[in-house]
Amino acid sequence: MTAQLFHLQVVSIPVKNVACSLKWYREMFSLDYNFPVDNIQELHADMVTKGANVKAISFKPSGGHSFHFVDPDDNCLGIWGGWPQEDQAENE
């Protein structure tokens, strides 16, 4: 079975305070609703600088770079940086 790339249209995240959570997500990702990841290392460093509860980046040759973070409502979410390039997998 071949993996297929698709884009999620809706992601449901339970929050206690919508206004507070919306503000937090806007500040973390500098966007309103979606946040494409072009450079996962820069995003990770930026979130750390902004004081987010961010876990270390991990790398899997078959899956690329990813990391998890915890939002203000204690939701643990993941960010995936996309499939690794061939040279990237060899250098990790």
> What is the residue extent of each domain of the chain?
38-91
Rounded CA separation 87/92 (Å): 9
Going from the first residue of the chain to its last (92 residues), give the mean pLDDT of each consecutive group of 10, the final group possibly shorter. 47 76 82 66 90 92 84 86 62 58
Flag whether the pTM goes above 0.75.
no
C-alpha distance from residue 39 to each of 10, 35, 61, 81, 88 (Å): 23, 11, 17, 7, 13
HSE-CB of 87 using CA atoms within 13 angstroms: 0
